[in-house]
Amino acid sequence: MLIFVGNGIGQELRCNVTVSARGIQGANQNLFRTMQSDLYDFMNNRKWTDHVYSYDEKIRCNILIRLDEQISADEFKGSIQVQLTRPIFNTSYTSTVLNIKDNDFHCKYVEFQPLEFNETSNRDNLTNIMAFYAYVILGFDYDTFSEEGGTEYFQKAQAIVNNSQNARERGWKAFESERNRYWLIENVLNKSYSSFRTCMYNYHRNGLDLMSEKVEEGRANIADALRDIQKVFRRRPSTYILQMFFDAKADELVNIFSKSFPDERNRVMAILNEVDPSNGRKYEKIAENEGF
């Protein structure tokens, strides 16, 4: 595995990029080192917004690309995992906002050839995927600081999806899967599921950020925010953004509410067991009143 962690000198993102090509036997590892360095520069040194960030304000995220198959000298398939974390006000704690694994990573890469991204075409699937997730990262980060504050960036991600409808690579079209890039951005911008974004704001800004000063009030706001997730579930249980939410938040929720009052714990557990039964065993720790 190759790991590239720079000084974060760049624009909005402080993005660590890792490329693993262990699944490809006999491959030229120098190629993947160069690919990794190029992708790091693409994510960190490109200006994605009109805003000015200090070093400490940069958005912390991680991208892990696993290449499992080499189709030709310059064509690869694998997966990409995207993680976004957010600092919590007045603490050293960082909360995981996103933890997405996308199994439809298919790209061409030519060593030493500049990476080009065009917002109005699907010329290069590699830079389209990376730019898509850059805007998704920005959108979710902004949503946690102001209500629906990330709309502009989600719309940019949606434009990339729209431009990629004729792409031969998977991941961009509705009929290919119920959990891909198309459905991620469709769910986020779908007004029928707007309570999801309300939850993201209240969970982080009125919940976690408040807990350093007012633990009980902040925790109660998080419990209320989960009702918004419940609304999405009752509208459409298989919605992709629900899986995304709990992939990022299940362990954190156990940590928060295992220190809660009995009535609050019971209310939260009832919601969690309804909307996220797959993590039911994990949520049993809440009832045991144990942190970790």
- Last residue within a domain, chosen from 95, 116, 151: 151
**Contact criterion met (CB below 8 Å) for 265 and 233:** no
In the numeric block, which tokens belong to residue 278?
């797959």
170, part of any domain: no
256, part of any domain: yes
pLDDT of residue 4: 41
State the pLDDT confidence band at 100, using cuts at 50, 70 and 90: very high
187, part of any domain: no
Asked whether residue 99 falls in the same domain as residue 209, the answer is no
189, part of any domain: no
Asked whether residue 11 falls in the same domain as residue 143, the answer is yes
Question: By percentage, how much of the chain surpasses pLDDT 90?
Answer: 87
Asked whether residue 146 falls in the same domain as residue 202, the answer is no
Name which residue leads in pLDDT, 203 or 52: 203
Asked whether residue 143 falls in the same domain as residue 246, the answer is no
pLDDT at 102 over 60: yes
Q: Report the mean per-residue pLDDT for the chain.
A: 93
180, part of any domain: no
Alpha-carbon distance of 88 to 93, in angstroms, equals 6
**234-237-242 Cα angle (round to 5):** 105
Q: What is the pLDDT of residues 63-76, one digit of tens each?
A: 999 999 999 999 99
Three-state DSSP at 106 gives strand
Asked whether residue 137 falls in the same domain as residue 211, the answer is no
**Contact criterion met (CB below 8 Å) for 181 and 172:** yes
Give the residue-averaged pLDDT of 189-214: 97
Three-state DSSP at 279 gives helix
Alpha-carbon distance of 85 to 289, in angstroms, equals 26
- Last residue within a domain, chosen from 151, 172, 204: 151
160, part of any domain: no
pLDDT at 189 over 60: yes
pLDDT of residue 289: 65
The count of domains in the chain is 2
Asked whether residue 11 falls in the same domain as residue 146, the answer is yes
Asked whether residue 140 falls in the same domain as residue 31, the answer is yes
State the pLDDT confidence band at 232, using cuts at 50, 70 and 90: very high
95, part of any domain: yes
Q: What is the pTM (predicted TM-score) of this model?
A: 0.94
**Contact criterion met (CB below 8 Å) for 107 and 17:** no
Determine phi and psi for 199, rounding to 5 degrees.
-60, -45
176, part of any domain: no
Question: By percentage, how much of the chain surpasses pLDDT 70?
Answer: 95
Domain that holds residue 64: 2-151
State the pLDDT confidence band at 6, using cuts at 50, 70 and 90: very low
Antiparallel, parallel or unpaired: β 13-20 and 59-72: parallel
Asked whether residue 26 falls in the same domain as residue 137, the answer is yes
- Last residue within a domain, chosen from 151, 186, 217: 151
Alpha-carbon distance of 94 to 88, in angstroms, equals 6
pLDDT at 42 over 50: yes
Asked whether residue 126 falls in the same domain as residue 11, the answer is yes
Amino acid at 36: Q
pLDDT at 9 over 50: no
Asked whether residue 125 falls in the same domain as residue 224, the answer is no
Asked whether residue 13 falls in the same domain as residue 95, the answer is yes
Q: What is the pLDDT of residues 241-292, one digit of tens each?
A: 999 999 999 999 999 999 899 999 999 999 999 999 999 999 999 988 644 3
Alpha-carbon distance of 222 to 241, in angstroms, equals 18
Give the residue-averaged pLDDT of 228-250: 97
Torsion of the alpha carbons at 106, 153, 206 and 283, rounded to the nearest 10:
-20
pLDDT of residue 169: 96
**Contact criterion met (CB below 8 Å) for 151 and 163:** no
pLDDT of residue 29: 87
**Contact criterion met (CB below 8 Å) for 165 and 175:** no
Asked whether residue 94 falls in the same domain as residue 226, the answer is no
State the pLDDT confidence band at 115, using cuts at 50, 70 and 90: very high
HEC string for the chain? CEEECCCCCCCCEEEEEEEECCCCCCCCHHHHHHHHHHHHHHHHCCCCCCCCCCHHHCEEEEEEEEEEEEEECCEEEEEEEEEEEEECCCCCCEEEEEEEEEEEEEEECCCCCCCCCCCCCCCCHHHHHHHHHHHHHHHHHHHCCCCCCCHHHHHHHHHHHHHCCCCCCCCCCHHHCCCCHHHHHHHHHCHHHHHHHHHHHHHHHHHHHHHCCCHHHHHHHHHHHHHHHHHHHHHCCCCHHHHHHHHHHHHHHHHHHCCCCHHHHHHHHHHHHHHCHHHHHHHHHHHCCCCC
State the pLDDT confidence band at 46, using cuts at 50, 70 and 90: very high
